Copies of this chain bind each other. A is one copy, B any other.
């Protein structure tokens, strides 16, 4: 059975303006690969209502899972939750269990749960909460969309909360052969082998070190024996 597919939607002006360098995409890509979920597409959009709703609809139709990152804080530009509600045509409001989580969190530090913070308890109808052990304000899952925070430590904690609830496929294994030959030197041999082993993915990643061109050949697949066979052939091909 093929692995489940997924897409990610990163929401935030700060990424597109170059102020912040996103790290959540890389974290999710690695976590999903280990869990046997194929991340097929990532989109980054601005804090823009129409853009978020359109992307949510397109991605949730095309893939088994969609993970969003960003836009669930207490400020005026945090609009992800109402956008998810709109994308699926369900109502949204402050939910008692989410409010209780926030109340307990702020009570511990003697902080007021004011109107702005209460925005973080707005949950679309029918959603399941995703645990946030760092700062309490929960993420949520509505149908196949998993809504998470943008702050990397919180995002990563939410991924850890979410993953055990998702059915994964076979983890994708990979092996790498480092060749001190330019990509153009090895391209034909690698291409022929990729055609022969068409159940595996062959990637070719050039590098330059001390003025010498080299290439990392990465082979990915779910069956260890097939990977071993391909790597043996690869090594023999470029042993000279």
Interface presence of A222 (CB below 8 A): no
Determine if B202 and A77 form an interchain contact, defined as CB atoms under 8 angstroms apart. yes
Determine if B20 and A205 form an interchain contact, defined as CB atoms under 8 angstroms apart. yes
Interface presence of A223 (CB below 8 A): no
Beyond A16-B29, A16-B40, A191-B116, is A74–B184 a contact (Cβ under 8 Å)?
yes
Determine if A76 and B190 form an interchain contact, defined as CB atoms under 8 angstroms apart. yes
Number of copies: 2
Interface presence of A108 (CB below 8 A): no
Interface presence of A101 (CB below 8 A): no
Determine if B76 and A187 form an interchain contact, defined as CB atoms under 8 angstroms apart. yes
Interface of A is mostly: mixed
Beyond A41-B44, A114-B184, is A17–B172 a contact (Cβ under 8 Å)?
yes
Proximity string of chain A (17-61) to chain B, C-beta cutoff 8 Å, 1 when within and 0 when not: 111111101111111110000111111111100010000000000
How far, in angstroms, from A112 to B44 measured CA to CA in the complex? 41
Interface members, chain A 58-111 (any B CB < 8 Å): 73-77, 111
Determine if A40 and B29 form an interchain contact, defined as CB atoms under 8 angstroms apart. no
Determine if B46 and A43 form an interchain contact, defined as CB atoms under 8 angstroms apart. no
How far, in angstroms, from A74 to B183 measured CA to CA in the complex? 7
Beyond A76-B187, A184-B116, is A17–B43 a contact (Cβ under 8 Å)?
no
How far, in angstroms, from A40 to B16 measured CA to CA in the complex? 7
Chain B: CB-nearest residue to A217: B75
Interface presence of A133 (CB below 8 A): no
How far, in angstroms, from A153 to B209 measured CA to CA in the complex? 13
How far, in angstroms, from A116 to B15 measured CA to CA in the complex? 36
Shortest distance in angstroms between A201's beta carbon and chain B's nearest beta carbon?
6
Determine if B190 and A75 form an interchain contact, defined as CB atoms under 8 angstroms apart. yes
Determine if B22 and A117 form an interchain contact, defined as CB atoms under 8 angstroms apart. no
